């Protein structure tokens, strides 16, 4: 269970930036870094989800952060999805401004026993151990921080599109139809493909959890593993 000594009025972590920005260029995998810093006096478990798990790859998407430590979370926009967005952006310039992708960072303070148990577990077992512990947390103990996404075309991207047209066209033909930027306010979040990180160190192995988590405004939080693919409209 979560550490009951944690002051509910004080933040567990500092998260920067508030908006994740991606500049698109044909046949690339644009990325950015999300920093999660422990602002509490206890070990904190974290988890990162997104409304578009098939579009992004997050490394790590869950883990532990010790007191005073900081975790760098790498977020990548998958190349295939990058080409799709460029194709849509060139055809309809206003579409990129309507992209409503979001990320959710969930955090919870760990008790001394939980932190000690997770620290003692071998790296290969971190995913399983973290998943089991997340399932025991009361939803009221989980802190949630939503992050927006900004997507734009990099300089020269439109001119280079001709060289990537065949790739983008093939991606469009193979992908199910979906509306870019539709958001009714009831976003569903899921875990994108990733790796798990123990305190300060990224452990190897893919993560695929199916957990609940706090939420509001009728949002449904769930997870689905896989490298870059998952159920639609999640985080």
Secondary structure (H, E, C), 120-161: HCCHHHHHHHHHHHHCCCCHHHCEEEEEEEEEEECCCHHHHH
Contacts of 108 (CB under 8 A, 6+ apart): 2, 12, 44, 45, 134, 137, 141, 142, 143
The pLDDT of 46-70, averaged and rounded, is 96
Q: In this structure, what are the phi and psi dihedrals at residue 109, rounded to the nearest 5 degrees?
A: -75, 135
CA 220/CA 209 separation, integer angstroms? 15
Measured CA distances, 188 to 102, 171, 218, 235 (Å):
10, 24, 9, 5
- The mean pLDDT of the chain is 78
CA 8/CA 29 separation, integer angstroms? 38
CA 111/CA 41 separation, integer angstroms? 11
pLDDT tens-digit series, residues 119-154: 898 888 888 899 899 999 999 999 999 999 999 998
Please list the residues that pair with 49 across neighbouring strands.
104
- Return the pLDDT at 66: 95
C-alpha torsion 51→229→232→148, nearest 10: 20
pLDDT tens-digit series, residues 149-204: 999 998 877 677 665 565 555 666 666 655 444 444 567 778 887 655 555 433 33
pLDDT tens-digit series, residues 97-111: 889 999 999 999 999
Q: At residue 32, does pLDDT exceed 80?
A: yes
The pTM for the full model equals 0.71
CATH: 3.40.640.10, 2.60.40.10, 2.60.40.180, 1.10.260.30. Which one for 13-221? Answer: 2.60.40.10
- Return the pLDDT at 91: 85
């Amino acid at each position: 269970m979560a550490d009951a000594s944690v002051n509910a009025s004080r933040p567990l972590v500092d998260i920067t930036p508030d908006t994740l920005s991606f500049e698109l260029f044909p046949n690339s995998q644009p990325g950015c870094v999300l920093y999660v810093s422990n602002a509490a006096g206890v070990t904190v478990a974290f988890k990162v989800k997104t409304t578009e798990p098939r579009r992004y790859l997050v490394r790590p998407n869950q883990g532990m952060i010790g007191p005073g430590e900081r975790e760098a979370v790498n977020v990548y926009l998958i190349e295939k999805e990058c080409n799709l967005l460029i194709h849509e952006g060139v055809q309809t310039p206003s579409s990129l401004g309507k992209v409503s992708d979001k990320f959710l960072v969930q955090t919870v303070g760990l008790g001394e026993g939980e932190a000690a148990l997770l620290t003692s577990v071998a790296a290969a077992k971190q995913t399983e151990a973290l998943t089991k512990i997340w399932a025991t947390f009361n939803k009221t103990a989980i802190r949630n921080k939503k992050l927006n996404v900004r997507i734009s075309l990099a300089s020269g991207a439109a001119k280079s599109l001709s060289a990537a047209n065949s790739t983008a066209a093939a991606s469009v033909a193979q992908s199910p139809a979906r509306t870019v930027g539709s958001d009714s306010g009831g976003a569903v979040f899921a875990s994108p493909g990733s790796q798990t990180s123990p305190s300060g160190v990224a452990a190897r192995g893919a993560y695929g959890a199916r957990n609940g988590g706090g939420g509001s405004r009728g949002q449904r939080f769930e997870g689905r593993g896989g490298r870059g693919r998952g159920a639609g409209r999640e985080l």
